Amino acid sequence: MTAELIDGKAAAASLRHAVGEAALTLPRKPGLAVVLVGDDPASQVYVGSKEKAAGKANIVGSVRRMPGSSTQEEVLSVVRELAADDHVDGILVQLPLPEGLDADEILSAIPAEKDVDGLTAPSAGALVLGQEGLTPCTPQGSMRLIKAVESDLSGKKAVVVGRSILVGKPLALMLLDANATVTIAHSRTKDLGAVCREADILCVAVGRPEMVTADMIKPGAIVIDVGINRIERDGTRKLVGDVEFDGAREVAGHITPVPGGVGPMTIACLLRNTVVASARRQGVPVPEALL
């Protein structure tokens, strides 16, 4: 068989359109503030993309750019200022921060109701307890792609390869909440291939180029490849995922490509979280299209 591609670009475009329409229904425009410390080139590109995407989705986007020499207290002061601003519904601190800054303390200064990245302890706790909150964007995007293929995950066997707080752990909790039977695998898992072959839904987020190969995939499985790795092959640089795509496509039932799979969903879900946060803060129902 040849797997059907899960088109993350199309799914993201649809969600961003829904977000833009939903934003117009609120009493005031949602506000998203990004804090960018230092001049890391990749971070500059990511933040520029987020700012542009916010404007297209009828969200008031702003970026607080700070020099790499900023102190812990200076960054905390900016985050606390944004936390107190009634017109800011979402705060995102672009990671990684320059060396010497304590990211955990800075992220902890973001109020849970404005934590559109879903990375603070209260947001993680709400996810564990099944309470209302804002969930991390990449796992949320992954779940949306899975459910576009299979709406009912009850009893499905899901394997998440990777246990990071950014993707692996929250994604496992979301799958569990959807009534899947979930296994978390990682670098110390014995016979990783055998574990992966049990999965009806295989999600890979380890940051290792093409680590999961065709022989590790159950025929017909849904494969979600979260990895984005830059490698050099035949003298050219290219992007590949954590799954060896060409081989995996001959075994899986559905698979996300890299690029064009999970990646586009991350910013779309960030925008979705901002509008959801804004609706809750303004005391109006969250637009149904975003639930």
What pLDDT is stored for residue 234 in this prediction?
86
Tens of pLDDT, residues 57-78: 999 999 999 999 999 999 999 9
Range of the domain at 199: 136-264
Assigned domain for 215 exists: yes
Q: Are 211 and 162 in contact (CB under 8 A)?
A: no
Placement of tokens 């049990």 in the chain? 198
Rounded to an integer, the average pLDDT of 134-143 is: 98
Q: Are 110 and 91 in contact (CB under 8 A)?
A: yes
Assigned domain for 188 exists: yes
d(CA 221, CA 148): 14
Read off the tokens for 174.
Answer: 């979301």
- Axis-axis angle for helices 8-23, 263-281 (nearest 10): 20
Residue where one domain finishes, among candidates 113, 128, 144: 113
- Known binder of ligand: residue 163? yes
Assigned domain for 13 exists: no
Residue 196: which pLDDT band, with cuts at 50, 70 and 90?
very high
What pLDDT is stored for residue 187 in this prediction?
86
Give the long-range contacts of residues 226-231, CB within 8 A, separation 24 or more.
226/138, 226/142, 226/162, 226/167, 226/262, 227/258, 228/258, 228/259, 228/263
Is there a single domain that holds both residue 59 and residue 102?
yes
CATH code: domain of residue 192: 3.40.50.720
**Which of the residues are catalytic?**
50, 94, 117
Assigned domain for 147 exists: yes
Tens of pLDDT, residues 236-288: 999 999 999 999 999 999 999 999 999 999 999 999 999 999 999 999 999 99
- Known binder of ligand: residue 164? yes
Question: 1 pLDDT exceeds 80?
Answer: no
What are the backbone angles phi and psi of residue 12, rounded to the nearest 5°? -65, -40
Q: What is the DSSP letter of 235?
A: T
Is there a single domain that holds both residue 241 and residue 200?
yes
Question: 229 pLDDT exceeds 90?
Answer: yes
Residue where one domain finishes, among candidates 57, 80, 113: 113
Is there a single domain that holds both residue 94 and residue 44?
yes
212 SS3 class: strand
122 SS3 class: helix
- Known binder of ligand: residue 228? yes
Number of domains making up the chain: 2
Question: 4 pLDDT exceeds 80?
Answer: yes
The DSSP bridge partners found for residue 61 are 32
CATH code: domain of residue 66: 3.40.50.10860
Q: Are 26 and 284 in contact (CB under 8 A)?
A: yes
235's torsion region: left (phi>0), alpha (psi -120 to 50) or beta? left
- Known binder of ligand: residue 162? yes
Assigned domain for 287 exists: no
Assigned domain for 33 exists: yes
